[in-house]
Each structure stands twice: as C-alpha cells, then as structure tokens.
Chains A and B, each alone.
Chain A
Amino acid sequence: MKEPNWALARKRQALTERARIIQEIRNFFIHRGYLEVETPHRIPANAPEAHIDIVASGPWALHTSPELAMKRLLAAGYEQLFQLCRVWRESERGQYHLPEFTLLEWYRAGVDYHALMTECMELFFVLVPEGKLSRQGRMIDLSMPWQQLTVSEAFSRYAPMSLQSSLTADRFEEVLTGEVEPHLGKLQPTFLTEYPTSLAALARTKPGEPLVAERFELYIDGLEVANAFSELTDPHEQRSRFDAAEETRRASGKAPYPLPEKFLTELITMPEAAGIALGLDRLIMLLTDSDSIDDVVAFTPDDL
C-alpha cells in the first residue's frame, strides 16, 4: 500500500491560492505602470546589515534582498519598479521564517513612505475584496485607513519600559517581539512608524529630526509583513551607516562584509524615492488563515 506523500498532497489548496495571489499582485503593479524586473540572485556584495547573515556562494553571496539592484535601476532613471524573487538569509528558521523565502519589493521615484502606506492598503483592497480577514476565528477589519502608531507610542502603550530605555539596555528586540508585536494589527492592520535611525540603515531621516528615520513596518495579526523606507539618497551618509553596521558586526565577533561600491557610486543620481519589501509567504499565510510558513510553500529545507 504505497501512498502518495500526504504532507505534500494536503497543501494543494494553499499552493493553488498562492499561485492566484502571485498573479493578482503582478496584475496590480503592471496595471499601475510598474515595470517588473529580475535582478541577479548571486551578487558580489549585499548591503551590510548588523543582524542579517548572508549565504555565501563561492566568493560571492546570494542576495538577502534585491534592494541594491533595484536602487541602481532607480538611479538610472527607471521610476516605478517591482520584483518578486527568492532571497536567502543564513540560519533564519522558525514558525514564520525560512532561510530561503520570497520577497515582493517595489520602488517608486518622487514619493515618500506615506505613498507606500496607501499602496499597501490598495493592494489588500484588491487581494481581499470582502474587506475582512479571518484569522483563527477572529476578524481583522481591512477598511481604510489603517492604524498608525510610532515605535515610541507603541512602547509606551504596550511595553513595561520606554523605547529609549530598551535601546540603552540592548533589549529592543526582546521587548518588541515579546511585549509589543503581539498587540499590533489585531483589530485592523497597523503601520508601526518612525524608527530610531540606528535601526534603519537605508532610510532617510525625518526633516529636522536626525534621530528618527522615515521607516514603517506593516503588522497584521501580530505578524511583521512589510518593511518600507523613504530611501536614503546621500552617498556619504549611506557609507557611514554601512560602516556603523560593519562595526556592530565586528563588535559581536562576526566577519564584516565587502561594501557594495557600485551602488554607493551610483546613489548620487538616485532621485527621491520610497521602497518596500513585503514577505510574500507571510502574506499568503494571512490570506489562507495558515498558522505556519511551512503550510504555504511546497517544500521546506526539512522536506528535502
């Protein structure tokens, strides 16, 4: 009695829905005049991040995000771009993490991060026309506008310590994931905004507020779905942010990474722009009421 692999067979509904969502996303962006692009997965240098480890591929690396290539296209005069692609991040594995996962990134010249909040809402309006998301028996109301909360407000509302004390005590992630995130996006989606500049290496700072970056994260049902910036376009500032990330890596005993020199050279011609990375697998989890990222991909590393 040889049975087909049931663990795979039972994913048919989620995989069918996944294919449909991807088509809808393509239609949404193409209809709005975005150009779909494909950029190399294997590259000589990623943007150095203090807490993202690369997967090496010979002397080069697999990309952790298509961000740098997308911005070089912006700098060359392409104004509206999107990409759906696989990215790799070493050793990230959990209920909501895969070391190889799919990102949807889109970039738009001439706008700031507020325009991307609107576009997130409009994308969901197309993907979920009924305007409600059922999550484990609860309803999340998708009608616009969605809640906006600054990181500082969210900490004072939900955490036992302020944002500033959590940063000073090096407990930001612990308090964010343990105390704050579980409350975000429960009744309606939440944009968590205005991150400390030290936590937004590629984002522009707010006019007159050098310590606050124009960055937001979209949360739905406690899950981080998308990360967006008003892009930093100052090459000198960008280089010193990269140096700071490298310094954090060195201080924690990790190897520094090579710098993306071509990106830094061409950044000078990049127009004002905003960009966003949305975790496609997590989006599909939300839209299929799935509890684990494993349920919305055909194969996980453990299945291979």
Chain B
Amino acid sequence: MYSCADLKKGIKLMIDNEPHVIVQFDFTKPGKGQALYKCKLRNMITGSLFDRTYRSGESFEPASLEERDMQYLYRDETGYVFMDQKTYEQTSISEEVLGDDHYFLVDNMEVKVLLHNERGIGVTLPNFVNLRVTQSDPWVKGDTAAGNNKPATVESGYTLQVPSFVEQGSLIQIDTRTGEYVTRVKE
C-alpha cells in the first residue's frame, strides 16, 4: 500500500478498481496545520482528468499492471502504435490516454507498454531520451555565462528550457521523469 508520503507525479493507483496515474501533484501545508495532498489524476482507461485532495493517514492501492516489451512504430489516426517484436501483435494508444508521455516517443524506441484487459493504456519510458532541437533562438554573442537559458522546441513539439549554447539542430538528452534538459548528445 502507498501512504500520502509516496504520492508524486507519475505514481499509479487503483481507484474504484480502475488504474489512475497522478499527472500533477501539489503538497500544501500551513506551517502548523494539516498537510493536504492535491492530485490531478488521469483515469488510464478513459483518459478523463479530475482533481482529488487527500489527507495524511489515507492509504492507496498501487496499480499493478501487466507490462510488455514493445516497440513504438508510428502515429496514425487511432493514436500511437506499438508492436510486440516476438508475436508481432500491435496495440494503439490514444494521445489522450498517453498524456505528456507522447512527447518522448522516438521511432523504433523500445518501451514497456502497460496493459489492462489486454489493451494498452500507457507506457513506461526509458529514463532518458534523445530528441532533436527544431526551434530555438540563436546564441547571443557575448552570452558566456554557463547558467543562462532559453526556450527550445524539440521534434515532438515539446518545449523546454535549455542552456543558451544549445543550437537549433542539436541532439539533446531529456530526462523523461522531469521533462528537463540533461546534456547535448555527441553524434
């Protein structure tokens, strides 16, 4: 069982017998008062989003889902299509159900697909992915401070902050758990 202290973004819980994932998490606590754990949850079957607030002392059943190694193939009108490389079985997961994870899918990437009644309802991504920067303002001459940053958009449409020395066309590594820049990747 999980306690409130285990709650954070990405944790999967069973609520009313259906798997849910925490997509946004806020811890609030007036200095001397009770802690409140404010969660935005996504029903992993229907994709529907809702808010719920929990208090210390509550416990949660982890969602234990079957995982299968699959390869990401392509996107079509049904959503994102994955294939089991042993059985050639395919499953498609809609963008709604995948949530922000779709930003980190790269063609032919191997992921673990989470299954519920034989249907794909989510993925476990590798911790790091490499994506190419498709849009970012050029480096400003004279801006040499190592800590300076600017926004950049990568090939999947995802936007993040990167160091000012990262150029359009660079391949960068992103931590899929935080969505943050890690380093440039040598090609």
A: which residues have CB within 8 A of B? 1-4, 6-7, 9-13, 49, 51-52, 91-97, 172-174, 176-177, 181, 199-201, 217, 224, 227, 252-253, 277
Q: Say yes or no: A9 contacts B146, CB within 8 Å.
A: yes
Q: Say yes or no: A217 contacts B146, CB within 8 Å.
A: no
Place the interface of chain B in its size category: 20 to 34
Distance of A96 from chain B, by nearest CB (Å): 8
Question: In whole angstroms, what is the CA distance A120 to B16 when docked?
Answer: 49
Q: Say yes or no: A173 contacts B184, CB within 8 Å.
A: no
**CB-defined contacts of A9 to chain B, threshold 8 Å:** 146-147, 163
B159-175 CB mask vs A (1 if < 8 Å, else 0) is 00001000000000000
Sort A-B residue pairs by CB-CB distance and give the 3 closest, nearest first. Answer: A94-B27, A10-B147, A91-B5
Q: Say yes or no: B181 contacts A6, CB within 8 Å.
A: yes
Pick the residue among A6, A12, A173 that contacts B183 (CB under 8 A): A6
State whether A13 and B183 are in contact (beta carbons under 8 Å apart), knowing that A97-B29, A173-B34, A174-B53 are contacts in the complex: no
Q: Say yes or no: B30 contacts A224, CB within 8 Å.
A: yes
Residue of A nearest to B183 (CB): A3
Residue of A nearest to B163 (CB): A6
Question: In whole angstroms, what is the CA distance A91 to B182 when docked?
Answer: 27
Residue of A nearest to B33 (CB): A173
Contact residues, B36-52 vs A (CB, 8 A)? 36
Distance of B130 from chain A, by nearest CB (Å): 13
8 extra interchain contacts, Cβ-Cβ under 8 A, other than A1-B183, A4-B146, A224-B30? A6-B181, A10-B147, A51-B32, A51-B33, A91-B35, A94-B25, A177-B28, A252-B57
